[in-house]
Chains A and B, each alone.
Chain A
Amino acid sequence: GENVEQHPSTLSVQEGDSAVIKCTYSDSASNYFPWYKQELGKRPQLIIDIRSNVGEKKDQRIAVTLNKTAKHFSLHITETQPEDSAVYFCAASRTGGGNKLTFGTGTQLKVEL
């Protein structure tokens, strides 16, 4: 089955700096890669996703890049703000597998003033 690794487990940045979180996956058939933000005790919120037919996607301060050959994808947050502090999860799934998501282990992002 799919295995998703995520790094780093914790990340502390100064407000206004950029944050980068990286994930690798094992199943070459995976073709959908969402990123979620989860605040304590809350549901995961989709913040951006990318499909395997594109290499990069951007939405304001958030961007995701995908390297299918290397089987890794990354989340980039620019101009970080204190409200960006949360746990971020990457995930991977493939059509034909019931859209089953395999999650990474999570990154605790702390944006310091």
Chain B
Amino acid sequence: GAVVSQHPSRVICKSGTSVKIECRSLDFQATTMFWYRQFPKKSLMLMATSNEGSKATYEQGVEKDKFLINHASLTLSTLTVTSAHPEDSSFYICSASARGQGSYEQYFGPGTRLTVT
């Protein structure tokens, strides 16, 4: 099956610093990648949709200058949380959908637990 990895799995950073999270599709080409944020005991909230080679589309209320997304290749997307603050502490999950007509399924990465101190 399609495998998506994320790195790192956990990260602790100090307030004001930036953190980069990588999302990779290991065995398929991901035309579209999605970034979600999940707070404790809450649902997954879509932050942005990323298509290879183009700018990401951000959901309403998500600051594009704070959450920088790059999708430079068909197998890699990165999310950089800039000037992180404690309220950015959350579980960040990426997903990827494969190239192909009628492709509906998204394949999720294992998530990254970000703690900002």
Partner-B contacts on A (CB < 8 A)? 32, 34, 41-46, 49, 51, 89, 93, 95, 98-106
Which of A43, A49, A51 is B109 in contact with, Cβ under 8 Å? A43
A interface: dominant SS: loop
18 A-B residue pairs with Cβ-Cβ distance under 8 Å, sorted by A, are A34-B104, A43-B108, A43-B109, A43-B111, A46-B105, A49-B105, A89-B44, A95-B104, A98-B49, A98-B51, A98-B57, A99-B32, A99-B103, A101-B34, A101-B46, A101-B106, A105-B43, A106-B43
Which of A42, A98, A102, A105 is B110 in contact with, Cβ under 8 Å? A42
Q: How many angstroms between the C-alpha atoms of A43 and B111 in the bound complex?
A: 6
Which of B42, B91, B103, B104 is A51 in contact with, Cβ under 8 Å? B104
Report whether A42 and B111 are in contact in the complex, using a CB–CB cutoff of 8 Å.
yes
Q: How many angstroms between the C-alpha atoms of A42 and B32 in the bound complex?
A: 22
Could you list 9 further interchain pairs (A-B, Cβ under 8 angstroms) beyond the known A43-B110, A98-B51, A100-B34?
A42-B110, A43-B93, A95-B102, A99-B32, A100-B49, A101-B44, A103-B45, A104-B43, A105-B42
Q: How many angstroms between the C-alpha atoms of A32 and B106 in the bound complex?
A: 11
Partner-A contacts on B (CB < 8 A)? 32, 34, 42-46, 49, 51, 57, 91, 93, 95, 97, 102-106, 108-111, 113
Q: A34-B105, A51-B104 in contact; A41/B113 too (CB < 8 A)? A: yes
Please name the residue on chain B nearest to A94 by beta carbon.
Answer: B104
Across the interface, which residues of B come within 8 angstroms of A106, CB to CB? Answer: 42-43
B interface: dominant SS: strand
Across the interface, which residues of A come within 8 angstroms of B111, CB to CB? Answer: 41-43
Q: How many angstroms between the C-alpha atoms of A41 and B113 in the bound complex?
A: 8
Q: How many angstroms between the C-alpha atoms of A93 and B109 in the bound complex?
A: 19
Q: Which of B32, B104, B109, B111 has the most CB of A within 10 A?
A: B104
Q: How many angstroms between the C-alpha atoms of A98 and B32 in the bound complex?
A: 8
Q: How many angstroms between the C-alpha atoms of A43 and B43 in the bound complex?
A: 12
Across the interface, which residues of A come within 8 angstroms of B91, CB to CB? Answer: 41
Report whether B108 and A100 are in contact in the complex, using a CB–CB cutoff of 8 Å.
no
